Structure 1
Amino acid sequence: MMTERVRKLKQIQNSVKPSLSAERARLATEAIEQYAAEPPVLQKAYMLAHILKNMTIFMQEGELIVANHTDKPRCAPVFPEYNSEWIIEQIDDFATRPSDPLVLLEEDKKELLQILPKWKDRSFDQIVARHLPEHTKKSETSGVFTIGNRDCGTGHLTPDYYNLLRNGLNYYKEKCRKKIEETEIDSPETQAKVDFWNSVIITIDAAGELAKRYSELAAKLAAEETDSIRKQELLEISEVCKNVPLNPAKTFMEAVQFVWFVHIIISIEANGHGTSFHRFDQYINDFYVKDSAEGRITEEKAIEILQCFFIKVTDIIKLRDKFYSESFAGYPIWQNIIIGGQTADGKDATNETSFLVLKANRGVQTSQPTASVRYFDGISEELMEESLKMIQEGLATPAFFNDNLVVPMVMEKMGASIEEARNWGIQGCVQPCVAGCSDGRPTVGYVNLLKCVELALHNGVNPVDGEQLGPKTGELSTLDSLEKLTKAFNTQIDYFVDLMLKGFNVVGSMHANREPVSFASMTINDCIAKGKSVQHGGARYSESGAFICGIGNAADALAAIDTLVFKKKVFDMNQLMDALHSNFEGKEDIRLTLLNKAPKYGNDDDYVDAIAAGIVKHYSESLSRYRDSRGGKYVVVVESQSMNVSQGKCVLASADGRFAGEALNDNCSPVMGRDVSGPTAAVKSVAKLDQKNAKDGCLFNIRFEPRSIQGDKGREILRSVVQTYFDNMGEHIQINVVNNETLRAAQKEPEKYRDLLVRVAGYLAYFTELDKNVQDNVISRTAHTPN
């Protein structure tokens, strides 16, 4: 349900075409020229201050939560400090590209073409590129892996909103002042700490200035307003912005506005994504309960405020280059909001705000924030029932996470206490962390597993161009058993993991030296105490997540070769390779045999499922040999976003029966259309990945035909699937309930299906905003029809 206010705001947002703005690029350039002599941490702070004091601000009619990302609604700012040259190269294509197009007004384009050349060879991505070996770059462009975090800030934070709300930002400013007073500068290290504390003070003052500007704007609009109700709302907004975020929040509305100010400033500061609202119900509920008890707010009003907030969250988008707009399709920012779970002493944490979040989400149906529920043995039945009803209605939200696996996993990977671990939240898609204490970077890169299989079958030579790309791991004639083939495959993985992680350590070191973020660091515990940004290791816990893409295809391909070549000898290796090199032209019999006569991951088959689990285990062991730039662990993420479409283009026909260039399986789900034994078999297969080896998460998509899960019986089916998966120690599951007829109709008449939401990866997207390749990939996923 939406009020008329929310309906109008949502309608406005839906009518706006995502666009690109030059304003931030101009302000950032002005600041860097003015403060060029300062150390990077102060440069960045002064840059943020200059932007917040001079950026265009506005309020849309009816808004209750205020502060914009840039000078237009649903508009991406440009961050020239991170990238400039590819923007110039691709600038003529932004509005017409098939994936995540962005309208660019002629005046903005003209200004960008004046500003961006000033950053030539100075933008972060170019500086990093100069420090990467040529073979690393070649391997990346060949599609074996990617190296992330080169065109944006590190992001992926879960600010300590519980304490921020109750202290106010001036409290942290005072902490920094005291640290400066107590510190004698007697070394480069102490100088760096003082610079950091000063930078935090600069950014807090700038946050206060931004809030003051909105307070004054609201008061000005109130003076001009003729409608008495709206006038009073504007006066209240003005008072709210006078108080937060510098001072502690006193009311529910102040608390939500406080959170939004902090979140939007972090987004403006460094263009990082994956900054999440994590356990929103735990840090907001006190304000709602107090307001409700004192007669200041009704449930309906609280829901309306949250829906206004959700619309603002969906306003945040970012500019990506052609490759990443395809690989992360649907304008995702990965802003997760999680409810439920446990208290520090292990009791059910469900509260009034848990239900407010669901009701607000159900009514407004925005693509952001991405809502999730923490499941454990003592979960509130009412919370579970309401969540399943939303899934059943085809809203594709919330997703579910499994406390029974995640709590001990967080304790192990971070060394956290059980009380801290029970306070875990999500940073990004599926990456669990200790909320308010972690700098987790699941941005390392994506290893293309099927490309590694391909290289193992070609002795390290890339069959696309004939160049020696990976190590020599044996001529085809020597690969006569699954054991030998797996060894060659694992050696390829190890080689490219080494290149990727060494490259990412360059990126991490450069972020610390050139792009530290003071405002965001202030929100994470221990940064002020240590006098270090998160980029320098200031957070209590640091780690980095490295992705694998194509787990289903790789497992199916290895199983097919072992079953049909090594064991049953249906055809020999040369015949298989001839078929792959010809893209099965004239070899359809071989392709059909590969598809239909070998076991497939996703059907509760222990043999092929063990192959998949072995891949995850080996990848985890390969990562464990390294430490990231902050001294943290590298951990596994089994997740693809829509990178499975991009990386599939780089692989020729494969031994699982896949044609050249076709998409890989999505995330940790089975290959599309191959999980034919029903949903229970599918979830059991995925759970057998032994997900404790994927400590940054396994993203699992599953889809149902709507007609098969109607009524009470349908919800019981959904509950059974979730519970079976979690009983078998799966980490995360998200459920689309939509049929192919609806999806194809939306392709043909997108204007009629503007609000159709689907789970792509760890985020929701409006189906009609996805490019056709990704839409087709969603359609190709198995739609289960349980008996």
Structure 2
Amino acid sequence: MEENQRKEMDMSYFGKPTARIAKMKEDLLNAQAQVCVERAIYTTEAYKKHKDKLPILKRAYAIKNTLDNMTIFIEDGGLLAGNQASVNRAAPIFPEYAIDWVIDELDEFEKRDGDAFYISEENKKVLREIAPFWEGQTVKDKGLALMPPLARKCYDLGIIKVEGNITAGDAHLAVDYDKLLKVGLKGIREEAQAGKDKLNLAEFSDLKKVYFYDAVLILIDACINFAHRYATLAEEMAVKETDATRKQELMELAHVCRRVPEYPAESFHEAVQSVWFLHLILQIESSGHSLSFGRFDQFMYPYFEQDLKTGKITEERALELLENLWLKTFTINKIRSESHTKFSAGSPLYQNVCIGGQKTDGSDAVNDLSFMVLKSVAQLKLTQPNLSVRYHKGVSDAFMKECIEVIKLGFGMPSFNSDEIIIDQFINKGVSREDAMNYSSIGCIEVSIPGKFGFRCSGMNFMNFPRILMIALNQGVDVTSGEKIFDTPIHFRDMTSFDQVWQAWIDTVKFFTPISVCLDSCADYALEMEVPDSLCSALVGECLKRGLHLKEGGAVYDFIGPLQVGIANLGDSLAAIKKLVFEEKRITPAKLWDTLMADYQNEDGWKVREMLIHDAPKYGNDDDYVDNLTRDAYQVYIDEIAKYHNTRYGRGPIGGGYFPGTSSISANVPQGAGLCATPDGRRKGEPLAEGCSPSHSMDTHGPTAVFKSVSKLPTLKLNGGVLLNQKLTPQSLEQERDVQKLILMLRTFFDTLKGYHVQYNVVNRETLLDAQKHPEKHRDLIVRVAGYSAFFNVLSTETQNDIIERTEHVL
């Protein structure tokens, strides 16, 4: 069957968007990714004007100045209002976080192999004029200055990566949208004012809190004024509008923007607009990503149900509003440094929408809005929002089938997270059962409690496991840089047993783990002091009650998750060493080491590589030999990281600790690029395995064997996420029996094997190769990169190749 015929058949299942929505989508797809300098201008103005004030107030005035003065517009046919930048798909610059890389790369933005951005010469000049003011004053400047020498060395060498934490905001959370809709910003303002009025300013601890409350009050008023700006704009546009239907729509939009987010939402339209305004403004407040909507089908359902029952809205208009919201979500953009971009290929914002799961009483939470969210995302087929589904035993086959129909469209959504494991994970960490039952997916595949969890439930430092293994084998010397990091008693060349390898791994993990925590603390300290997110804090947990912003400990729960890269490579490498070197003695440690250093280019190097690849067990094939080694090696790190605390520990929240996770986004590509050959047969510079997925082409026993291998990981301890990508050919899901087979496989994975997560790319290798050669033919091709989807054509060549080389499975 021809590709375009298959696509047409798949799309017919969900139907097509209305002409209005289709045109708006086309306009966005044609929009050029640009750099917007407005926020940088208004932020710099405010910081200069209020230079005598504390950072928390300077920042509040800066965001107010931006909201008061930035360009606003309403798209032709738009039912919602609110834009992040001067034009759609433009990325603002956040100078308070970092400006050095912006200036250094200004002339390179358009030349990038992937994630290119365009900027005018005029705007380059603006940024160059702004930059001197920020010298030595940014979060990056402060974060780097805080790093002790050894920690800074590990950062500079890229052994532990925290660049994203000191060049951008945190996010990685969902705020309390349910509360916003019920009380409005007016109710939240009253709560903040009451908290301020109770303070005893003779007490130093209370004196500090007054500035937080003042910042919240400034920002709430700014948000309300921002919404009123759009109300006025809509009224002005309505006066000029000649089409009666459109004139009425604009007047309705003006009415909605006069009411929300200031007041509680009274209709589905108001609820959607209110959520969008706050979601948008939080993106303007901070350059963080993974700001997520939480359990959208739960807190939005009462407004949807009420309006349908009263005839205030039709399903068709509700669907248009949803699709307009997703189009708005897609307009959000972010520019990262060239090096950071490699860790987040495709300019993802990870704006997760979570549906399904259970209610607090354990009953199925799927409702009519859950189905409509699936339909709306399917009709648009975009990279945002990042749709995830909470799976549980009681979910119906009808809902599962609908999810598979979306997956068949081939853009990597939805992903599945399992209630069966995640709820218990949270309870084991001290989260109440009621809150645990209300968890939501955040960003990629990580999970959090909406409105109660602190920043960055996942995504702190990135630790390169195979690189650390090579340091362990090299007597504490980093193979990539040649730098001596620490001392170990023996080099791999001289080892006589696998026990020595194992002990070297343990010692090296114990050496680097506290350094990673130190780097996190330096980043958190700089973020806490320089860029407190007061508006975001006002919408989370106990912040207003405690008078503390999120970085000070205002959340109910606060755990953070570092990410580990190359888990499969680690397990496969250890298995090859144990079996081929020490058990079967087919190669000496010295010979293997020399071969790795030569990237298999020495005498018999290719024979050695063939042996490593084909004669050693490989993770992903349900082989206990390698699966258990992978689990045990990972457990060393899990046990070690559990000993440490974040900067909020003891300051209010439950937790304050760490948990590991495998949601390493696209970090497997750059972290492999800077690494020598490894004992699993991987060559120098090749990507590492992604997430907890097997290495490319090493999983030869089918998708169920992969499920079994992954299920042997210590999943209950991996609260940061267990990311599993699988790739299926479109032909694998053509027949109804294939759909049912996949549903049964998923139920077995989650119910029996206690799997955590899985997501699918449904695309042919041939299609991807053709898209590389003829990108103009595949403008709409979307692939699952890691815990997110991206347009294939905007990815760097190396990331494209990484996706092409993933194992293709059939059912």
User: Secondary structure of 2:288's partner?
Assistant: coil
* Counterpart residue number, 1:372: 388
Aligned 8 A contact 1:555 1:608 in 2: yes
Counterpart of 1:601 in structure 2 is: 619
Q: Distance in 2 between matches of 1:173 and 1:52?
A: 18
The answer to whether the aligner puts 1:772 opposite 2:797 as a matched pair is yes
Contact 2:151 2:518 in 1 (8 A): no
Matched residue of 1:361: which SS?
helix
Aligned counterpart for 2:645 among listed residues 607, 620, 627: 627
Q: Secondary structure at the match of 2:783?
A: strand
Listed one character per residue, the Cα deviations across residues 87-111 of structure 1 (whole Å, up to 9, x for unaligned) are: 1111110111112111011111110
The structural deviation recorded for 1:251 is 0.8
1-structure distance, mates of 2:52, 2:241: 46
1:478 deviates by 4.7
SS at match of 1:432: strand
What is the DSSP-based 3-state SS (H/G/I as helix, E as strand, rest coil) of the residue aligned with 1:303? helix
The match for 1:319 among 335, 345, 348 is: 335
* Residue of structure 2 equivalent to 1:671: 695
1:434 Cα deviation (Å)?
Answer: 1.5
Aligned residues: 785
Distance 1:643 1:551 in 2: 12
Residue 147 of structure 2 corresponds to 132
**1:266 positional shift:** 0.5
Cα contact 1:460–1:473 (8 A) shared by 2 = no
Matched AA of 2:643: R
The answer to whether the Cα contact below 8 Å between 2:157 and 2:481 also exists between their aligned partners in 1 is no
* Alignment pair present for 1:580 and 2:605: no
Match among 268, 279, 285 for residue 301 of structure 2: 285
Separation (CA, whole Å) in 2 of partners of 1:193 and 1:762: 38
- In the alignment, is residue 735 of structure 1 matched against residue 760 of structure 2? yes
CA contact (8 A) 2:493 2:593 kept: no
Q: Is the 8 A contact 1:683 1:724 kept in 2?
A: no
2:252 is equivalent to residue 252 of structure 1 = no
Partner of 2:548, secondary structure, is coil
Measure the CA separation in 2 of the matches of 1:426 and 1:113.
Answer: 39
Q: Deviations over 1:584-639 (max 9, x none)?
A: 11410000000000000000001101111112221111111110011111110112
**TM-score in terms of structure 1 length:** 0.98
Displacement of 1:432 in angstroms is: 1.4
State whether residues 494 and 589 of structure 2, in contact with CA within 8 Å, keep that contact through their aligned partners in structure 1. Answer: no
Which one of 104, 111, 120 corresponds to residue 96 of structure 1? 111
Quote how far apart the aligned CAs of 1:196 are: 1.0
How do 1:751-770 and structure 2 match up within 5 A? 751-770=776-795
2:246 to 226, 230, 234: 230
Asked if the contact 1:471–1:495 (Cα under 8 Å) also holds between the matched residues in 2, the reply is: no
Aligned to 2:160: 145
**Aligned counterpart, 1:637:** 661
Partners in 1 of 2:693 and 2:393 — Cα distance? Answer: 25
**1:430 equivalenced with 2:441 (yes/no):** no
Conserved 8 A contact 2:412-2:760:
yes
Provide the C-alpha distance between the structure 1 equivalents of 2:216 and 2:479, rounded to a whole number of angstroms: 52
Counterpart Cα distance in 1 of 2:384 and 2:486? 40
1:460 is aligned with what amino acid? Answer: G
Report what 2:403 is aligned to: 387
Say which SS state the counterpart of residue 448 (structure 2) adopts.
Answer: strand
Aligned pairs (5 A) from 1:597-746? 597-631=615-649, 632-726=656-750, 727-746=752-771
TM-score when scaled to structure 2? 0.95
State the partner residue of 1:408: 424
* 1:275–1:427 Cα contact (<8 Å) kept: yes
User: Which residue number corresponds to residue 589 of structure 1?
Assistant: 607
Q: What do you get for the CA RMSD once the two structures are aligned?
A: 1.2
CA contact (8 A) 2:410 2:761 kept: yes
Question: Separation in 1 of the partners of 2:494 and 2:692?
Answer: 31
Structure 1: distance between partners of 2:37 and 2:661: 35
| Cα contact 1:143–1:451 (8 A) shared by 2 | no
Contact preservation (8 Å) 1:362, 1:395: no
1:346 aligns with 2:362: yes
**3-state secondary structure, aligned to 1:149:** helix
CA distance in 2, matches of 1:473, 1:779: 42
Alpha-carbon distance between aligned partners in 2 of 1:716 and 1:478, rounded to the nearest angstrom: 54
Look up the SS of the partner of 2:741 in the other structure. helix
C-alpha distance in 1, partners of 2:48/2:428?
Answer: 46
The answer as to whether partners of 1:437 and 1:526 remain within 8 angstroms in 2 is yes
- Report the Cα distance in structure 1 between the residues aligned to 2:776 and 2:251, rounded to whole angstroms: 37
Tell whether the 8 Å contact from 1:679 to 1:784 is kept in structure 2 after alignment.
Answer: yes
- Give identity over the alignment, percent: 36
Q: What corresponds to 1:67 in structure 2?
A: 82
**8 Å Cα contact 2:364/2:394 also seen in 1:** yes
In the alignment, is the contact (CA less than 8 A) between 1:444 and 1:501 conserved in 2? no
My pick for the range that moved more, 465-474 or 483-492, is 465-474
> Deviations 1:570-597 (Å, cap 9, x if unpaired)?
1111111111111111410000000000
Q: Which runs of 5+ in 2 are unaligned?
A: 1-15, 650-655
Report the Cα distance in structure 1 between the residues aligned to 2:154 and 2:625, rounded to whole angstroms.
Answer: 32
1:329 and 2:345 matched:
yes
SS at 1:371's partner residue? Answer: strand
Taking the aligned partners of 1:717 and 1:602, their CA distance within structure 2 comes to: 20
Q: Please give the residue correspondences for 1:175-574 in structure 2 after superposition, counting only pairs within 5 Å.
A: 175-413=191-429, 415-441=430-456, 442-574=458-590
Alpha-carbon distance in 1 for matches of 2:140, 2:756: 34
Q: Which residue of 1 aligns with 2:60?
A: 45
Q: Which amino acid in the other structure matches residue 17 of structure 1?
A: Q
* Partner SS, residue 658 of structure 2: strand
Q: Which of 7, 12, 17 in structure 2 is aligned with 1:2?
A: 17
Contact 1:709 1:717 in 2 (8 A): no
- C-alpha distance in 1, partners of 2:50/2:598? 59
Alpha-carbon distance in structure 2 between the residues aligned to 1:601 and 1:118: 52
1:473 to 1:782, Cα distance in 2 relative to 1, 3 A = farther
TM-superposed CA distance for 1:676, in Å, is: 0.4
3-state SS of 1:633 partner:
strand
Asked if the contact 1:679–1:721 (Cα under 8 Å) also holds between the matched residues in 2, the reply is: no
Q: Partners of 1:556 and 1:646 in 2: how far apart?
A: 20
The residue type paired with residue 86 of structure 1 is W
Q: Contact 2:393 / 2:747 at 8 angstroms: preserved in 1?
A: no
Q: Distance in 2 between matches of 1:157 and 1:522?
A: 13
Does the 8 A contact of 2:199 with 2:206 survive in 1? yes
Post-superposition offset of 1:660: 0.4
C-alpha displacement at 1:154, in angstroms? 1.5
Whether the 8 Å CA contact 2:492–2:593 is kept in 1: the answer is no
Alpha-carbon distance in structure 1 between the residues aligned to 2:732 and 2:101: 48
C-alpha deviations, 1:506-564, integer Å up to 9, x for none?
11122222211110001102100000001111011111101100001111011001110
- Paired with 2:556 and 2:497, the residues of 1 have a C-alpha distance of 46
- The aligned amino acid for 1:40 is P
* CA pair 61-470 structure 1, distance change in 2 beyond 3 A: farther
Paired residues of 1:617 and 1:693 also in contact (CA < 8 A): no
**2:27 aligned with 1:12:** yes
Runs of 4+ residues deviating >6 angstroms = none
- Return the offset for 1:392: 2.4
Shift of the 760–470 alpha-carbon distance from structure 1 to 2, 3 Å rule, reads: farther
Which of 123, 127, 130 is the aligned partner of 1:112?
127
* Corresponding residue SS for 2:490: coil
